[in-house]
Amino acid sequence: MRQWIEHLERKLKVNIKGSFTIPEVLDSIADGGGQEDVIVVIGIGQHFRPYPPEVFIRRLRNVRRAILRLSARSPQAGVVIKLENNREVKAPLMLFSDWYGYMQNLAQRKVFEDMEVALIDAWDMTVAANNFATHPNAVVVSNELAVALSFFCHSA
């Protein structure tokens, strides 16, 4: 998400508010009046790779409940979930491998499948771009943002 914020700040020449505590941020968004223009972007995966799947799934369930609370308060608020990108890791631990990342991608798809959220398939974008860095290049980031923004332009 940091890359998205930096990319948008460069392109739009603005400062964007970013935060990394998902349920708390979603719960802090006021209900009703004036919140129809809110778009929340969530990226969960990469930093959870070394944790057991149960911890990651528990976090996804907490995020899901927070999104449902946000939707009840502010139905017009948009939610984007950036799925994991692959990454080339030269660490000795299997826990950081793309296999775990892919399993986390599948878990995210399952947890959020029946919700009105935009899922940004960063995995396929990084594979298609032959970009295996932990932090994808500017072309991939730009494409992720384009897909996210098109979701809201078409649903408006």
pLDDT by 10s per residue, the chain, length 156: 778 888 888 888 777 766 556 677 777 776 555 555 788 888 887 778 888 889 999 999 999 999 999 999 888 888 999 998 887 766 656 667 788 888 999 999 999 999 999 999 988 888 888 877 778 888 899 999 999 888 877 655
Per-residue pLDDT at 127: 85
Per-residue pLDDT at 39: 83
Per-residue pLDDT at 113: 95
User: Would you give the end-to-end CA distance of the chain in angstroms?
Assistant: 23
Q: List the structure tokens of 11.
A: 């392109």
CATH 3.30.565.10 fits 2-8+35-155, yes or no: no
pTM, two decimal places: 0.81
Count of CA atoms in the C-beta half-sphere (13 A) of 60: 22
Per-residue pLDDT at 133: 75
**How many angstroms separate the CA atoms of 156 and 154, rounded?**
6
